[in-house]
Structure 1
Amino acid sequence: MSGTKLSGGADSVAEPGGPDEDGEPSPPDVTEDEIFDVLSNRRRRHALHAIAGAENETHDLGELSERVAAWENEIDVAEVDYAERKRVYTALQQSHLPRLDEVGLVEFDKDRGTVDATPALEDVEIYLDVVRGNEIPWSEYYLGLSGVSAALLLAVWVNAFPFTMVPDLGWFAFVVVAFSVSAAANRYYSRDMKLGGDSSPAELE
């Protein structure tokens, strides 16, 4: 999965700013590794959440800093003091926004102090694709569950002890229930784990 492009074809190698089929500049491709890297930082997640929450809007760095500071301190924007705002402002200006601009998720104008979302940001639909509390990607969780289920059913197939103490149908039912419960949990925890929206980031709710 490493290096997979989130936009364009599987073998796309388009350069940032290169023309698309209509002759318009095409957005740079963003790899999954880059997505996971930028989302691994809490402050960048909050900044992207704020930016993605307002489509076709140019964000002022000062206002963006206040909103992120409010989320970090779990207070209202009106309660953010100068030190809290300045700390976030400096970090966004010098580190986080340039990094997001570098991978192609935002367009950051440092001189004007403005930030705009790029079309590539629309591809980042899942906010945190992890099993809550364990920081395990759901894809890895299901892979592990599949392995355990295969080993279990193989043991039942060869009549290994102590698996013979439970009817075969019981083990098959266990596997079905395990996947059903996992799928329900995945849907429940992931339904609000998206970038954008009017509310605060899901991890704060």
Structure 2
Amino acid sequence: MTGVLRDAGNEGRTEPTREDVFHLLSNRRRRHTLHYLRQRDGEQVDLRELSQQLSAWENGVPPAEITHRDRKTVYTSLRQTHLPKMDDANVVDYDPNRGHVEPAEEFEDVEVYLDVVPEQEIPRSEYYLGLSAFAAALLAVAWVDVFPFDLLSDVTWAAVIVALFAVSAAVDTYYDARRQLGSDGAPPDLPEQD
């Protein structure tokens, strides 16, 4: 990964570049690792525990139902590939000898790149642009007293528009909290399971 230098300890590490972060987050297991570590509030976790949970999410079953083979596949890829890359980027501290993983210095800075927008939703910027256009049109017809918009005062229409934005923002805030890495349950990029 370019932009990431490393020697013994944290000295010599530099902040990962934007490209480094996107490369790091391009893999689902690395994103799920971040999700799990965030759920654990910065605690050190055992690689076995991490691989068991990631395997459970990938297979859509509770961790207790994961077979040794399923867990071993995830364990091996985390140990040999994903955790060393995340450690090199200073996103996690990974001790391969003890099998421990914990958030590192750059862990919190990665979240800025993780706005998850499900395929069936429109981006917020487009939604709020459309809502603003609707509000402007509504105010315009209310201001020129076009029927039936002249039945309510301009102040009432302004209050309706403020309420639309307030409800939209509240709903957006609620769903945004559910899409954050580290929120309860499975990672936000997995399909919801019954």
The TM-score normalised by the length of structure 1 is 0.61
Q: 1:1-205 maps to which residues of 2 (within 5 A)?
A: 25=11, 28-29=14-15, 38-39=24-25, 41-55=27-41, 57-110=43-96, 112-123=98-109, 129-130=115-116, 134=120, 136-138=122-124, 140-141=125-126, 143-145=128-130, 147-149=132-134, 152=137, 156=141, 164-165=146-147, 166-167=149-150, 169=154, 172-196=158-182, 199-201=184-186, 203=188
Q: How far is the alpha carbon of 1:45 from its aligned partner?
A: 2.7
Amino acid at match of 1:87: T
Q: 1: distance between equivalents of 2:76 and 2:170? A: 41
The structural deviation recorded for 1:65 is 0.7
What is the identity, as a one-letter code, of the residue corresponding to 1:74? G
CA distance in 2, matches of 1:48, 1:104: 12
- 1:88 Cα shift? 1.8
> C-alpha distance in 2, partners of 1:51/1:33?
22
Q: CA RMSD in A?
A: 4.2
- What are the superposed Cα offsets for residues 78-119 of structure 1, whole Å, 9 maximum, x if unpaired? 211123112322332344334433443112344554322113
- Provide structure 2 residue ranges, at least 5 long, that are not aligned to the other structure: none
Does the 8 Å contact 1:126/1:190 carry over to 2? Answer: no
Identity %: 39
1:9 corresponds in structure 2 to: none
Mapped partners of 1:48, 1:193: distance in 2: 13
- Describe the superposition over 1:162-202 as per-residue Cα deviations: whole angstroms up to 9, x where unpaired: x93424736534432321121110222233444337x4336
1:67 offset after TM fit, Å? 1.2
User: CA 1:135–1:55 in structure 2 vs 1: closer, same or farther (change >3 Å)?
Assistant: same
2-side partners of 1:180 and 1:171: how far apart? 14
Structure 1: gaps of 5 or more residues? 1-13, 18-23
1:118–1:144 Cα change, 3 Å: same
1:120 is paired with a residue whose SS is coil
